[in-house]
Amino acid sequence: MRNLIKILFLSLGLIVSGVLFSAPALIKQNTRPLQAESNLDALDPWETPIASFFIRSHHGVPTMPEKWEIEIDGLVENPTKIDLSALQKMPQKSYYAVLECSGNGRGFQFPKVSGLQWEKGAVGNAEWTGVPLQEILKSVKLKPNAKFARIEGADLPALPTVPPFVRSIPIDKMMAPDTLLALKMNREPLPILHGGPVRLAVPHWYANNWIKWVRKITFMETEDAGFFMKKGYRMPKNPIRPGEKWDSATGVPITTLRVQSFILHPRGHEKVALGPMKVTGKTFSGTGTISKVEISTDQGKNWSLAKLEAPHAEGGWQEFEATIEFKKIGKKVVMSRATDTAGNVQPLVADWNPSGYLWNAVDKVPVHVVKKTSPKLIGESVAEEKCLTCHTQSLLSVQELSKEGWEKVLGKMESFGVNLTAEEKSALVDYFLKRDPQPKPIEVVDYSRENEIHETRREAHGDASHGEKLFATHCSSCHGEKAEGKIGPTLKGRHVPEGYFYEVVLKGIRAMPAFEDSLNREQAMDIRTYLLR
């Protein structure tokens, strides 16, 4: 009941902050395909909202067919195809589970390695609802020599020479009660950007195994021999030194979540006052529930226990809270360290590896301790109590208003029901005017309409038949007769955003010539309509 009440209040707050005030929630790491991590404001709620949930895919969003089917074949007695409507009618179960990219934290690794430089935000806690795979597999009857399931999604590489993203899951994990073909996320139909209409849900394992847009499951005696099993997403069996040569074939596939904790308050490089201060954060593990979280303010020399929320009955991460006290001003570091029920403990230093996977070192948040007598800090305390109920820190940080402007904003807040004394209003205005210059936020993405855009992209914007002829004349020599990819990338089955498609076709990009002298926008629309169909 406590968590239900919490979710209801958080949902109301997110409606206010996310809809009325359009606070950004995702930090864009890459555009094509879209990769974006949650900012720290988005990770505050116990249940991570869908609009704030990190996005990671390998080949981008596939084109949605009119009828979605999942084929099950290989070492089974009864090969079959199951369509989406049949799945939706089957008995379903729901639970909370943490979904984390295996590259989360790569941005903290030193020496640096290539890849998306995720910090803390490629993780989230959501409710997943779907059909347990063990119920489906009973009807297909696995053969005795079936040891692995090869999972294929509908997303296609940009070039035919690029390997598809395919993973193999051991049979015992496929048959686990909580391994699902997930159809919902936080009680909503699974969004396309998160693998909808159906993705594999593998609780306690890293996200590279949660295959999106599932279209085919093939049972085999051995692991798939493709790139993403034999080379990608593998870890050394033993730690290696930076620069040391390593053959990925000698490693092991990335599966189980490592024990982790991360601090959400205070924020990194935040100014905090002398005296007591609250520390809050999240913690989780794939090898058990969390048994304790410890906090240190002296570089790990001494640790004190945090108050740890009991495991939620339906899974997901746990929350922790502690009160610490700074008695001297200056630069300090707040650290959190989690231990799970299997005895696994966060290390002070994470194992280095060439791909930057599985970062789980103790979280370290630098802060600057200053005197409490500053009116600015009084205002900051009031802002946390009165403003962050509805707004996020990222929204407040970009406001550059005059004294009159802030007074007008606070007047509006009072008209909405916020109770402010004259002293609090004065302290708030003083704080906002005197605070240090705020850095401009890095690029964020608002994809509140993305699912709507993807769902409606099959609408008839052009003449597909005419587009087929134009494609054969202008495009097939590079992209293949059936858009399967040749010199240029594969276009069949790929969704290219409309505006970007026209820009590339008419203006050209890199080796792609401009066609504005031979094609107009309407003709380009016909070509795109053909490709989408």
Residues 367-379, mean pLDDT to the nearest whole number: 73
Instruction: For residues 267 and 22, give the distance between their C-alpha atoms in angstroms, rounded to a whole number.
Output: 21
Beta bridge partners, 151, equal 167, 217
Task: Using alpha carbons, list the distances in angstroms from residue 198 to 8, 98, 102, 154, 195.
Answer: 26, 18, 21, 10, 6
**What's the mean per-residue pLDDT of the chain?**
85
Number of domains in the chain: 4
Task: Using alpha carbons, list the distances in angstroms from residue 122 to 19, 186, 284.
Answer: 23, 18, 14
132 backbone dihedrals φ, ψ, rounded to 5° = -60, 130
* Domain final residue pick, 253, 276, 296: 253
Query: Per 3-state DSSP, what percentage of the chain is helix, strand, and coil (rounded to 5)?
Result: 25, 25, 45
| Secondary structure of residue 452 in the 3-state scheme | helix
The answer to whether residue 171 scores a pLDDT higher than 60 is yes
CB 96 within 8 A of CB 319: no
The answer to whether residue 290 scores a pLDDT higher than 70 is yes
- Asked, for residue 450, whether it belongs to a domain, the answer is no
Amino acid at 486: K
| Secondary structure of residue 207 in the 3-state scheme | helix
- Asked, for residue 448, whether it belongs to a domain, the answer is no
- Asked, for residue 446, whether it belongs to a domain, the answer is no
Active site residues: 511-512
Instruction: For residues 500 and 453, give the distance between their C-alpha atoms in angstroms, rounded to a whole number.
Output: 14
CB 195 within 8 A of CB 215: no
Same domain, 166 and 29: yes
Output the CA angle 462-463-465, nearest 5 degrees.
150
Same domain, 228 and 337: no
- Asked, for residue 447, whether it belongs to a domain, the answer is no
Where residue 264 sits, what CATH number does that domain have? 2.60.40.650
Residues 343-360, mean pLDDT to the nearest whole number: 94
- Asked, for residue 440, whether it belongs to a domain, the answer is no
Residue 390 confidence (pLDDT)? 65
- The whole domain housing 265 covers 260-370
- Least confident range from 120-124, 294-298, 395-399: namely 395-399
- Least confident range from 160-169, 187-196, 208-217, 466-475: namely 466-475
Instruction: Read off the pLDDT of residues 403-438 as tens digits, 9 standing for 90 and up.
Output: 888 888 888 888 877 888 888 888 888 888 877 655
- Asked, for residue 397, whether it belongs to a domain, the answer is yes
Share of the chain above pLDDT 90, in %: 53
Residues 359-379, mean pLDDT to the nearest whole number: 82
Alpha helix (H) residue ranges in 141-265: 171-174, 227-230
Output the CA angle 111-116-119, nearest 5 degrees.
75
Instruction: For residues 77 and 83, give the distance between their C-alpha atoms in angstroms, rounded to a whole number.
Output: 19
> Nearest-CA neighbor of 33 among 186, 169, 213, 158?
158
* Domain final residue pick, 203, 234, 253: 253
Same domain, 249 and 285: no
* Domain final residue pick, 328, 344, 370: 370
The answer to whether residue 388 scores a pLDDT higher than 90 is no
CB 38 within 8 A of CB 48: yes
Same domain, 74 and 20: yes
Residues 469-489, mean pLDDT to the nearest whole number: 82
* Per-residue confidence band for 475, with pLDDT thresholds at 50, 70 and 90: confident
307 backbone dihedrals φ, ψ, rounded to 5° = -75, 120
- Asked, for residue 246, whether it belongs to a domain, the answer is yes
Where residue 395 sits, what CATH number does that domain have? 1.10.760
Same domain, 93 and 195: yes
- Least confident range from 32-41, 169-178, 221-230, 481-490: namely 481-490
Instruction: Read off the pLDDT of residues 44-73 as tens digits, 9 standing for 90 and up.
Output: 999 999 999 999 999 989 988 889 999 999
Residue 183 confidence (pLDDT)? 98
Same domain, 421 and 464: no
Same domain, 297 and 276: yes
Amino acid at 144: P
The answer to whether residue 267 scores a pLDDT higher than 50 is yes
- Asked, for residue 342, whether it belongs to a domain, the answer is yes
For the chain, the first-to-last Cα distance in angstroms comes to: 48
Same domain, 59 and 192: yes
| String of DSSP letters for 16-77 | IIIIIS----EEEEETTTTEEEE-GGGGSSSSPPGGGS-B--SS-PBPPPSS-EEEEEESBS
Residue 461 confidence (pLDDT)? 66
CB 74 within 8 A of CB 168: no
Q: What is the CA radius of gyration of the chain?
A: 26
Residue 14 confidence (pLDDT)? 38
Same domain, 120 and 17: yes
Instruction: For residues 199 and 208, give the distance between their C-alpha atoms in angstroms, rounded to a whole number.
Output: 12
Same domain, 60 and 200: yes
Same domain, 231 and 356: no
Where residue 516 sits, what CATH number does that domain have? 1.10.760.10
Residues 133-161, mean pLDDT to the nearest whole number: 93
Range among 14-23, 367-376, 395-404, 520-529 rated most confident: 520-529
Supply 477's token pair.
């020599």
Same domain, 342 and 326: yes
Instruction: Read off the pLDDT of residues 501-528 as tens digits, 9 standing for 90 and up.
Output: 777 788 776 667 888 878 888 888 888 8
